Each structure stands twice: as structure tokens, then as C-alpha cells.
Amino acid sequence: MSIKNKKHILIGITGGIAAYKSLSLIRLFIKAGCEVKVAATRNALQFVTPLSIETLSQNKLYHDSFAPIENIEVGHVTWADWADAFVVAPCSANMIGKLTHGIADDALSTLLLAYNKILFIAPAMNDKMYCHPAVQENLKTLINRGVRLIEPASGFLACGTEGKGRMEEPETIAETVLRQLNANLPLSGKKVLVTAGPTYEPIDPVRFIGNHSSGLMGFALAEQFAEQGAEVILIAGPTYLNHKHSSIQRINIMTAQEMLVETMNAFPQVDITVMAAAVADYTPSVVADEKIKKKESHFSLDLHKTTDILSELGKIKSEKQYLAGFALETENEKENAIQKLQNKKLDLIVLNSMKTPGAGFKTTTNQVIIITKDGREMVGCLKGKDEVASDIIQFIIQELHLN
């Protein structure tokens, strides 16, 4: 995940039983690749401990306006400048009132007044308090000032009654904030399909034919597409890698046939596809039910060709869909890559040379040449796979005029 795009989120926690859900909220933002800092009121710390907050957010908690944050005397101003979005969840009637009237008498309310970017509040309180004209008037004022209200849900309240006042679920709050932050990204609203890793073709219950693909290139692409605002479907062969971004939906497969099925299934919904997987070209014709014993001095396997998934996609792709593949070559590299681009009806091909030291399988670096169907070309230098992924995606964004 590229650090330059890491979103900075401030979470404010006020006193209310829903404060325990703020811990999940911190986790959700961290999982989505954000950096999180938390400010809490004294009352909030009756419900959740500084230790839980600091452990989950991986940052110091701000709760005492007289103590410097991170050794900075005017830390509240520094934190306010640092943040891309601020969400107060749960937001008490008291904090709504203070914010409306510009009262800054503790760490959180001071930070709120020093902050002038996208602010979300997720109120949580008893239904009668929420409906009180004072609270409703204050909310109206805040909404008019551009504060985004994440309305409380109706349901069972901690005080034992039913009504409107229960804080919205952390998943919904996180989604609302992230959607807003992503709204201006070049690929927001786009669906992307990425395949990654090797396939394993079984011979018997204990053996398979595989390859050295680590999946790093495909995973880097999936992360970077998500960073640019896309919803990503990542179809991954066997790999030890984990995906991080919450906009990535991962489907694990083992064989070329399983990758074919999952890819064909996902393809109609997506705008952009990048086939980075190293799919086996051949698979054993028969898979033995039991472990094959060593008897003869020679042993041969009958293999048959797998379906070329990328070619199948090229045949069915619509005008609006953008299709990219990789070419792994060891000789006549450019000619072969261009041939693949044309034969498989691609919009773009990424040529991976196996000859460059530090490029190709198993390495964390790669060197590629990007070639489009219109003959545009970009020759990259040896870089980390994250950076190569970023170059490929920026190239596609330009091609699609999305920047």
C-alpha cells in the first residue's frame, strides 16, 4: 500500500455506552489502510480505556488539553491540520451542544474547533434526548455549517427502551467516511478485477504442478487500485500473501480451471481487468485418487492444455471494458508481447522480461514495458513491485482519461 495515499482519520469519542463500538471503528479504519488518531473526553474514558485505544490506533490518545500531544505544545492544531477526516462517534448531546456554540473546554472540543475539514458526527443517546428541540436545533445548525450527520438508528437502547438514538454500526460509519474520502479519487465508482499468483494443478492427493509466481505483482496492483478508489475483486492462486484494503474482495482458487470459472463469473460486472496471474498452460489429464507409488524407473504424465482465460475475456469484452494482461518472455520479447496483445484482443500488455536481474518471479522488484493497442509505450526501470503497480495504474487512468 502506498504511504502517500494513506488517509489520516481523527476519531473523537464522547461519553456513552456506544463508546465500546468506537474500538471496532478504529480497527476498521486501520484495516482500510488509514492512519488513526483518537481524542476522547473524560467521560468516554469511563467506558473505554486509553490502553485499548492506543493499542488499536497505534498512536497516543489525546484527552488532556494541558498535556502536550506527541511532545507538541499546540498539538490540537497540529492534529487538526494532519487529519483528512474527523468523525466523532459516539457524539453525545453535550458535545453536539458544545460544537454548535463554539465551546472548547476539553481536549476533544478544542480539537474540534481547531479543525476545518470534513467532519462527521454519529450521535448516540436516549431517544427522548435525541428528539429534544435543543438537540434537534443544534443538529440543524451543524448540518447547515457542513457537518455530516450519520443519523442514529432505531432499535433497542441501553437504557432499556426502544427508539431512535442507537449509534449507527461501526461498519456503516467507516463506509460512509471512506466513501466520502474516496469520492474524488480517479477510480471511485469503478470495479476492477485482478488475478494474482500461481495455479496448482494436482497430480495426486499430495503432488501438483505449480510455478514460482509469488503473487506480489497482482497483490500490489489490487492494493493500488483500491487506493485509487476502485472496488477490487482479487482472484488469487495459492500464496502466503494477505490483502489489506477493505475495498478488496478476495476469492481464493487453486487450479487454472477454478480461476477460469471465478474470472468468467466476475468479468461482466467489472470496468477494468488485469490478468497478472501465472496460470498453468497445461494440467494433468487424470488426477490420481491415491498417492502414486514409485515403481518404474521412468514416469510420464499426460497433460492437456488449459483454457487461456485472457483470450476468452478478449472474445467477450464489451467496448466499455478495459482489458490488460502480462507477457512473460525470454526471447523476442517485444514482438511476442505485441503478438499476445493482438491475439488476445487486449487494450494493454505489460511485458515482463525474465532476463533482467531482479525482475520477474519471486523478487520484490520488477522491470516492465507497458504497451497499448494503439502503440503507446512506456519503458520502466527496475523498481519495487508497488511502484511498478502504481505506474501501470497511472498509465491505465491516463488511457481512460480518468485523471
SS (H, E, C) the chain: CCHHHCCEEEEEECCCCCHHHHHHHHHHHHHCCCEEEEEECCCHHHCCCHHHHHHHHCCCEECCCCCCECCECCHHHHHHHHCCEEEEEEECHHHHHHHHHCCCCCHHHHHHHHCCCEEEEEECCCHHHHHCHHHHHHHHHHHHCCCEECCCEEEECCCCCEEEEECCCHHHHHHHHHHHHHCCCCCCCCEEEEEECECCEEEECCEEECCCCCCHHHHHHHHHHHHCCCEEEEEECCCCCCCCCCCEEEEECCCHHHHHHHHHHHHHHCCEEEECCECCCEEECCCCCCCCCCCCCCCCCCEEECCCHHHHHHHHCCCCCEEEEEEEECCCHHHHHHHHHHHCCCCEEEEEECCCCCCCCCCCEECEEEEECCCCEEECCCEEHHHHHHHHHHHHHHHCCCC
Q: Which of residues 337-366 bind ligand CTP (CB under 6 A)?
A: 340
**Judged by CB under 6 A, which stretch of 71-79, 284-292, 326-334, 358-366 contacts ligand CTP?**
326-334
Give yes or no for residue 256 binding ligand CTP (CB under 6 A).
yes
> C-beta of 285: minimal distance to ligand CTP in Å?
16
Give yes or no for residue 388 binding ligand CTP (CB under 6 A).
no
Give yes or no for residue 192 binding ligand CTP (CB under 6 A).
no
Give yes or no for residue 124 binding ligand CTP (CB under 6 A).
no
Q: Which of residues 87-106 bind ligand CTP (CB under 6 A)?
A: none
> C-beta of 225: minimal distance to ligand CTP in Å?
16
Give yes or no for residue 270 binding ligand CTP (CB under 6 A).
no
Looking at beta carbons only, is 130 or 267 nearer to ligand CTP?
A: 267
Looking at beta carbons only, is 267 or 326 nearer to ligand CTP?
A: 326
**Judged by CB under 6 A, which stretch of 107-115, 164-172, 272-280, 386-394 contacts ligand CTP?**
272-280
Per the annotation, the verdict on 159 as an active-site residue is yes
Residues 310, 338, 348, 359: which binds ligand CTP (CB under 6 A)? 310
Give yes or no for residue 308 binding ligand CTP (CB under 6 A).
yes
Looking at beta carbons only, is 167 or 256 nearer to ligand CTP?
A: 256
> C-beta of 195: minimal distance to ligand CTP in Å?
6
Give yes or no for residue 327 binding ligand CTP (CB under 6 A).
yes
Residues 64, 137, 281, 377: which binds ligand CTP (CB under 6 A)? 281
Q: Binding residues for ligand CTP, how many (CB under 6 A)? A: 14
> C-beta of 213: minimal distance to ligand CTP in Å?
10
Give yes or no for residue 201 binding ligand CTP (CB under 6 A).
no
The set of catalytic residues is 159
> Which residues here bind ligand CTP, judged by CB under 6 A?
256, 275, 277, 279, 281, 306, 308-310, 325-328, 340
